[in-house]
Amino acid sequence: MRQGYEDAYRLEAFFLVENWTPREIDLETLATDLREAHLDAGERDTLGLALASSVALVLMDESAGRELARKHGVRVCGSLGVLVEAHQRGLIGSAQLRAYFTEMARREDTWVSRALVERVLGEVFADQV
């Protein structure tokens, strides 16, 4: 966790409350393609943990990481998929889903393309046209 970042503080608080010790990844134990892939440390460590723990699903938006995960047989879901699932389960309404998607498409600090956001929204609301 990078010190000084809000998410790092939140994770640290979560770990303390839950009495949960984060697991470190030994780069030497990773598959060669994971070590050599052009991924951020977070994506690389996520995939390393997924493979070491035999988890069923990872949450990741990074396309290179998603491709590598699938190559290793790890199921992947991204931010849009999580929101669609929440909508399908009735946890968020249609207006809220559209607002989240609109915000994601507008922002330049996210790595979800506007075209993808529009395509997924079109699929979710295809029967309402």
Mean pLDDT for the stretch of residues 77-104: 93
User: What's the rounded Cα separation, in Å, for the pair 122 and 127?
Assistant: 9
> What is the percent of the chain with per-residue pLDDT over 90, rounded to a whole number?
31
Query: Over the stretch 17-64, which tens digit does the pLDDT of each residue have?
Result: 998 887 777 777 777 888 788 888 888 888 888 888 878 789 998 888
What's the chain's average pLDDT? 85
For position 129, what pLDDT does the model report? 54
What is residue 81's predicted lDDT score, i.e. its pLDDT?
92
Residue 4 binned pLDDT confidence (cut-offs 50, 70, 90): low
Which DSSP string do the residues of 66-129 spell out, in sequence order?
Answer: HHHHHHTT-EEE-HHHHHHHHHHTTSS-HHHHHHHHHHHHH-SSS---HHHHHHHHHHHTGGG-
Per-residue pLDDT band for 77 (boundaries 50, 70, 90) equals very high
Question: Is pLDDT of 5 > 50?
Answer: yes
pLDDT at 117 over 60: yes
Buried b (16+ CB within 10 A) or exposed e, 53-71: eeeeebebbbeebbebbee
